[in-house]
Structure 1
Amino acid sequence: MLSYPASTISTPDGQVNVLQITDLHLSSPMPAAENSSEVSVCQYSFEAIVKQALSKELRCDLILVTGDLVNKVQSAIYDLIFEVLQETGIPFACIAGNHDVTDEIGEDLPFFQRELIARPTDSRLLSRHIIETDHWQLLLLDSSITGKVEGEVTPTDIDWVFKQLDSCDKPALIALHHHVLPVDSAWIDSHMAKNADNFWQHISAFEHLKVVIHGHTHQDQMRHYQGVTVYSTPSTCYQFKPFEDNFAYDKNARPGYRWLQLANNGKVASWVERLDT
């Protein structure tokens, strides 16, 4: 049995290959997809993506799950997700998204008519967690707010990140669920992380912060800000249409995942792959 959560990663070549998956949105605990014809689309695509990604020749050293693991907060759904991840034999770590701390009542209604119910965070989801590698420091934040869709990087989060970056000069990556830069879609940008300006102000001095990764926006984007590369990663289930001010699904985009190669010289390579079928 793997020790959870991952806290140290060491590889023969010093490079760490990270598989980021996000926004799984599983809504019911079903048997493994290959054993049931009743599994949800989101569960099927989650399991298919894990299988596809790990069938590649690229070595996977770490799996990061950046929030919205569930669409309905039930411990049995987390049990299933953790079972799938444990069976890979690869170290992994999971953080919360808004759906991990909030149930929406009336999902068939327009969003503003839905009731948002605060739920406690599953104890397996991490907050202010460090993963040390031979040449990198990975910092995981919980940006969720119980009962809310939008997120927040709290002053305590910012102080913690500042302390970690100040005390370790390894190249650094920050992972959280909510986006900290607008993605030019008005509806989802209204639900980004609050206090983002303060976050950027405090970390601007650290040139060794190389990467920020997040979920929440259900789309592939890359932006550069203050010397940091910010990656938005597709959902393992359904996608949002980019650059739309009103909510819209991107029906032509398949479920996806992101690879990040964290080199031993501080360089980063990253790309998105999509589910084959």
Structure 2
Amino acid sequence: MPSYPVSKINTPDAQVNILQITDLHLSTPIDFMTASENMNSNEPTSCQHSFEKALQQALDKDIRCDLILVTGDLVNQIQPAIYNHIFEVLEATDIPFACIAGNHDVTDDVDGHLPFEQRKLIGRPADARLLNQHVIETDHWQLLLLDSSVTGKVAGEIAPADIDWLLDRLTTCDKPALVALHHHVLPVDSAWIDSHMVENSTDFWQCVAGFEHLKVVTSGHVHQEQTQQHRGVSVYSTPSTCYQFMPNEDGFAYDKDAAPGYRWLQLANNGKVASWIERLDT
């Protein structure tokens, strides 16, 4: 069984296939009907069920998975037992994996029944297994994992020390680079969630300016699929394995018609990347 956290990946063809899952939002280690119960649906989503089903569906595909990358909001309630269960499920795949924190991993939302803007937020310490300033090296790529979460807040930030670390990594290693974090670094044209993106995203883009070997930035948080190109970088947002947010909405809204999803990132040995979204079969 691969040790955690993984720091080196070698593959027979020097290509790396990454399965990105994000925004699991588990609330107990057993089936739990989440906030999607408030969507006036007759069949509310079970985040526990859809997480495990999405993972199994992805791994049943005819594609080798070299890394499972979990980009934050593993839980909806910060309890060690929930993290233990998630890690047990991931370890059972016998595939290297890595997990970073999202806002829900450092902040408890204690008034989920209230409108989003009225909820009370309580800061909590992050689980020690969630990574920051972590490098995963492959034959031809460097994967750079950052923690953009801020205790007690929904919005994200990349701390000055993390920006310095990122600058150092990009300066000292010229392998094609992928940066993974929870919060998005480009607006997605939904005013409410864009008010909770990386607040110092300008600093981030100034840091990486000029590094042509930065190829990919991938994140979660927005519960929807986005693909953008910015300064030569492919910038991806990935759907939740649970419920989805309505795209292009200024106010908080669920997308009742969008199924849970996940992203594949295929990193070639020539620095090229292919990426696509798959949705949970219904």
Q: By the TM > 0.5 criterion, same fold?
A: yes
The equivalent of 2:258 in structure 1 is 253
- 1:205 and 2:196 are equivalent in the alignment: no
Distance 1:113 1:225 in 2: 34
The one-character-per-residue Cα deviations of 1:187-234 (angstroms, maximum 9, x if unpaired) are: 000000111001101111100000000000000010000100000000
- What secondary structure does 2:135 align onto? strand
- 1:74 and 2:79 are equivalent in the alignment: yes
1:159-238 alignment, distance < 5 Å: 159-238=164-243
In structure 2, runs of 5+ residues without a counterpart are 32-44
- What secondary structure does 2:55 align onto? helix
- What secondary structure does 1:46 align onto? helix
The equivalent of 2:98 in structure 1 is 93
- What secondary structure does 1:170 align onto? coil
- What secondary structure does 1:169 align onto? coil
Letter in 2 for 1:13: D
Distance 2:57 2:115 in 1: 35
The equivalent of 2:40 in structure 1 is none
- Measure how far apart 1:112 and its partner are: 2.4
Distance 2:168 2:210 in 1: 12
8 Å Cα contact 2:116/2:252 also seen in 1 = no
The equivalent of 2:17 in structure 1 is 17
Distance 1:101 1:89 in 2: 27
2:58 to 53, 62, 65: 53
1:100-111 alignment, distance < 5 Å: 100-111=105-116
- Measure how far apart 1:252 and its partner are: 0.6
- 1:155 and 2:160 are equivalent in the alignment: yes
The equivalent of 1:242 in structure 2 is 247
Distance 1:28 1:159 in 2: 37
Letter in 1 for 2:56: K
- 1:123 and 2:111 are equivalent in the alignment: no
TM-score under structure 2 length normalisation = 0.94
Distance 2:91 2:6 in 1: 11
> Which stretch shows the higher mean deviation, 73-82 or 154-163?
154-163
The equivalent of 1:144 in structure 2 is 149
Q: Percent identity between the aligned chains?
A: 71
In structure 1, runs of 5+ residues without a counterpart are 32-39
Q: Number of residue pairs matched?
A: 271
- What secondary structure does 2:264 align onto? strand
TM-score under structure 1 length normalisation = 0.96
- 1:6 and 2:11 are equivalent in the alignment: no
Distance 2:138 2:67 in 1: 10
Distance 2:120 2:57 in 1: 37
